[in-house]
Structure 1
Amino acid sequence: MLIGAIIVVSLLLVGYGFLIFTPLVKEQLEKKTFQKNFYTDVYQLAIDKDFYVINDVVLEIDTKFIHFNHILFGDKYIYCICDSYFDGPISGKYSDQQWFLYKKNGQLEHIKNPLLLHRTRLSYVTSALRAEELFVGICVVNESCIVDEIQDIPDNLVVVNVHEFKDYIFKREKENVAPINSIQLDSLVQQIYQKNLQSREKEKEIIVKQNIN
C-alpha cells in the first residue's frame, strides 16, 4: 500500500510539474525560434509564388539607416516586413506614440507604437524610390501575441499575427489593381539590392569606428 501511495503521489507531482512548466517551455521555444521560423516562411512563400525577396535589409537614406527584416516583391505590391516578438498581448491606437504590453506577470508595460515606427521607415523608402503606391508595410508578431483591432489605420500598413501573414499577402495580391510593370519591378529590385549592399558595408564601417573610439 505504501509503495502504491508513493507511486501515486509521484505521478501527481510529475503531472503538476508538467502542467506548470509546459507553457513556460513552449513560450521560451517560441521566443527562441520565432525569427528563424518566420524567415523560413517568407523564403518558402517567395519560392512558391516566384517572388523576389531580400532579407536583413539595410538602406541608408538621408544619413539614416533604415532596417527591414525582409522586403518581398510581389506581383502587385512590394512588402516591407519587420517581425517583433512580444511576451504578451498588445493594444493601442494607430496615432498613439506608445502602446500597452500586457505582461504575463500582470504588469503593464509601455512600448513604442510598432506601426508608427514602421510608417517612418516606410516613408523614407517610398520617398527615396518615388513609388509610394507600390509599398505596403507589415509588422509581423509572434503566434501567442494577441493584437487588439486597430481603427483608422492606413491601407498600406498592417499588424498581423505570424499565422495570418501568408493569407494577408494572398489577399493583397488578389486585389483588383494592375500588376507592377515588370521593367519597373526589376529596376526596384536592383536599386534596393545594390543600396542594401552599400548601406550594410557603410553601417559596418561606422560601427567599427565607434568601437575603436
Structure 2
Amino acid sequence: MRAFTVVTSKVAPMDRPNVDTDAIIPKQYLKSIRRTGFGPFLFDDWRYLDAGTLEIDPAARRPNPAFVLNDAKHAGAQILVARDNFGCGSSREHAVWALDDYGFRAVIAPSFADIFFSNCFKNGVLPVVLQAAEVQAIFEMVEADANAQVTIDLPAQQVRLADGRSFAFEINPHHKHNLINGLDEIGLTLQQADAIRAYEAKRRVEAPWLFN
C-alpha cells in the first residue's frame, strides 16, 4: 500500500451530499476483483452520457461536459472535497479502489459512511473529516480559483489552504501509523513474519502429525 504523509494538490469539488457507492462505482463493474483498472469508471453514470460496462472502452463513450471530473480546470486533482455522508450505500470496497485508481489520495468531507471510511484506510486513501464550515471554505476557494492548492499534512493532522488558513482534523492513531508507513492488514501481519515462522517451527516439533 502506498504511504501517505503530505499531499499538495488542486481539489475536485463534488458538491452534493449522500454520494453512495453505487454512484462512485456502479454495480456492473463489480465483476472484477482486481484493485486496478476502475479509475475510468469512477462516477460512471454521472461522468458519461451513455451506458458502460467493463467490455466497453471508456474512450469510445460520450463524456458529460457538465460533470466536474470532465472539467479541465480540475484535471490532475488528487484531493476530492465532498459533502455529508460520502460513501453511503453498499459496502463495496471497489468504491475506494476506483477513487485510488483515478488518482485521488484523499477525500475531505463533513462525514463519511462507516464502512467506506474503514475501506479507505485499507487502501491508502485518507478520509479527512472537517467541520461543515471548513469544507464550505474549501468549496468557495476552489470556486474562486480552480488552481488553488490544498495541502493535507497527515503527520501534523492539518489541512492547509493556499490563503494561509489551516484546519485540524482527528484520526485514529492506528490508522495514522498505517498510512504513514504504507501498511495495510497484510503488511501489518508480515511485520510479524519471523515470529510466525518461529511458532510454526515450534509447532512442527510439538505436533508433527499436524503437518503430515
Q: Would you say same fold, with TM above 0.5?
A: no
Task: Give the structure with the higher percent helix.
Answer: 1
TM-score (normalizing by structure 2): 0.24
TM-score (normalizing by structure 1): 0.24
For the pair shown, the structure with the greater C-alpha radius of gyration is: 1
Comparing both chains, which one has the higher relative contact order based on Cα–Cα distances under 8 Å and sequence gaps of 6 or more? 2
